Structure formats: structure tokens, C-alpha cells
A = this chain, B = another copy of it.
Amino acid sequence: VPRDREPEVAGPARALGIVGAGQLARMMVEAASRLGVRTVVLAARADDAAALVATEVLLGEATDGDALRALAARCDVVTFDHEQVDLDLLHELERDGVQLRPGVETLRVAVDKAEMRKRLATAGLPVPRYEVLGDGGDAPDAAPDPEELAAAIDAFAAPDGWPVVVKAARGGYDGKGVWPVGGEEAARALCEVAVRARTPLLVETHVDIDVELAVVVARGCDGASVAWPPVETAQVDGVCREVRYPGDLEPDLADRAASLARRVAEVAGATGVLAVELFSSDGHLLVNEIAARPHNSAHWTIEGATTSQFENHVRAVLGLPLGDPSPVAAHVASVNVFGAPSKEAGDPCDRMSGALAVRGAHVHLYGKAPRPGRKLGHVTVCGDDPTDVRERAWAAARALGTPVPGSLDAGAT
């Protein structure tokens, strides 16, 4: 008979509402629990990752106004696990006095790549050369015009050469939303299908990337911000597989990236954690993507920093002072755990012994049902030697069934 009595607590207990109940929400709930903060999650399913650990669970969709209002009625502040939200609906809630953190204006910048590029460029922050096709982000159904698209691609190819990058401003398109266009033939093919896109498109210069960095920033209600040190991320097929602090980043580049990310958070008016993915190209930093929530590239901060991104997100959205983001080890590696390719490999929960036998392996599993390729957890190892921490993190992730991409030399032994 779970929760069949109302809590008998004197006075107003703080409660944090979370839209969505995936692993980010779960790790927010874990941080909130330590701080004595109650959590209420709006979960699509009762067995969503965070629904298994939150103080209270409301079942409903993140785009359902009644569900959102029910959530807001149960808590002091509402934050977000993901960005699949209805901005117009959230705008209404905000107008009605619901404390959304981050607010709608920040979410708009994070959700809409066209809006993001425009806002950052207007503020003088470096972004790849871009052009927005369609209705600039205000009309979600703006279908791009194929001829306009072809002309724009040509206009980028002429000075910069191929490839040219085309991106959906919102959501995805064929599940991905980013298409590098290698030449005229590919451009023609893309223009034919682009009419199906129900979102504005961006055309951008291809950037020759020397290194991909991610910087995660927490910004308080008072505008104060802290940045965790930038990390190097290894992506395979657009999916983050591992994160290394400090990686091979030059300290000067890392400092510039952290400053830039804090400026981005300021321009976006963020409250809470905001992640900035950056390219370094020929010594120049360019903002690639932003996310207005905790981010996979900073899961390492749970054990690797004095204050984790999740704790600082909770602190920030509740109007509390931010904690020290300093790392607590010289080197930290964090490797994502994915479902094994074959079902016979089983559930990582049944393979914990091998992973926990790895010295210093901090294993996080999100309580999600295993499926091949599904992100199910992560492993973090802190230490003094970059190779050693990486090998141990991969050893534990492999023990849990994570396939090792051929492109990553993960110390397979």
C-alpha cells in the first residue's frame, strides 16, 4: 500500500517538480534526496527511470497541459528532464505564475537551433556561418522551400567547398536532424525529401573540427554561474560514448571554452544547468549545440567534482547558492553503458559482479529495461593516470555488456 497517507510534515516542505522521468531526472532526484528535497516527476510510464525513485509520481505526457498543471500544483518549482516540450503551452503556464526553471525563453533557445544561432550571433558569440530557411523558428510547421534550400546549399558550397551541413531547427528528421551534404548530387536528393521536414532548416558551413569539447555550466536565479572544467568527448555515430577530464585539452583552450559557455548561459538567461557543445577549429571556438539541462558530458561530476551537475541544477532551480565545481581527481573517465547487441547478453543488473569488481568503478544504472543499443547507465573512474582511469571505466562498462566501438581504443584486454 504505497503512499496511502499524506505526509504529516509541519510547514512548507520544498518540492521540486520534474517534467519527464528519464535518467537525468533520476540523477536529479538522487541529488535532491541528499538535500532533503522532495521530488514529483511527471512520467510517461510508471517504470520510467526517475519514477522508481521520486517521492511522488504523476503519470502523463510532457505536452499535456492538464498534466503539467497537476505537476505545478504539487511543487514549488518545475524543471525538465528533456526538451520534448510544447513551448506555447509552457508559456501559458509561466504567464499563470508557474515557476519554470529554466524558463520558456531559455528553453526556446535550447529547443530551436535557428533561434539559438540567431541569439548567440546577435550577442557576438562565435557560431558557424549559418542561414535559416523557413519561418525562422516561430512557426513550427514551416515547410522549407526546396528551391530556396538548393540555392542556399550552393551559396555555402561556393566559397567554403563541400560538405555543407543541413540541420533541422527542431526535433528531428529521419531520427537524426543533421545531414552533411557531400556534393551536388546529395544536395539534390536532400532537397527532394526536405519538403517533408515540418520545421525550419539551417544550412551551415562544415567546420573542420580539431577537437570536440563540452562545457557544462550552472547558473543561479541571481545570475551567478559556475562552470565545470571542459571535457573531451568521444562520439560514435553522433552518440557520446566516453568523456575524459581533462583529456588532451590545452589549458588555455579549456579556459576560453569555459568563459564562452558561461556567456552562452547568460545570453540564454538560463537558470539551472546548461550544456554547451563546442568545436575547436584552427584554435577558434564555435558553439555547436546547447542543452538547457544536465548533460551526459558531465555525469563524471557526480564522483569527479566537489559538486555534481545534478546537485547544482537542484540548487540553482530552487534559488540556493551554487556549489564548488572543482574536480577532486587529476583524471576522470566516464563511459556510457549501452544494452548489449544480443538479448542473450542479458540485463546489466545481472552482470554487476564483474563491473563492481573493477577497482574504483562507480557504476550507475538507471533502472531502465535493457534493449540492444539503449543507454542504460554509465561508469566513472577517478585517479591519477589518464590511461588507467579510462581502461578501468571501459573494463566495467564491458563487463556490463557494453559493446566497444572499433573506433575507440578502449584498452580491450
Contact = CB atoms under 8 A, between A and B. Distances in A.
B324 A359 contact: yes
A365 B35 contact: yes
Copies of this protein in the assembly total: 2
A9 B47 contact: yes
Contacts of A360: 306, 323-324
Contacts of A382: 306, 328
A382 B46 CA distance: 38
Interface string A48-70: 00011111111100000000000
Interface stretch (A92-100, A192-200, A228-236, A366-374): A366-374
A33 B1 CA distance: 21
A405 interface: no
A59 B349 CA distance: 28
A176 interface: no
B38 A33 contact: no
Size band of the interface chain A makes with B: 35 or more
A346 B363 CA distance: 38
Interface string A339-365: 000000011111011001101111111
Interface of A: 1-11, 13-14, 26, 29-30, 33-38, 45-47, 51-59, 306, 315, 320-321, 323-324, 328-329, 346-350, 352-353, 356-357, 359-367, 369-370, 376-377, 382
11 contacts: A2-B57, A2-B58, A3-B51, A5-B46, A8-B45, A29-B53, A36-B365, A38-B52, A306-B360, A321-B353, A323-B356
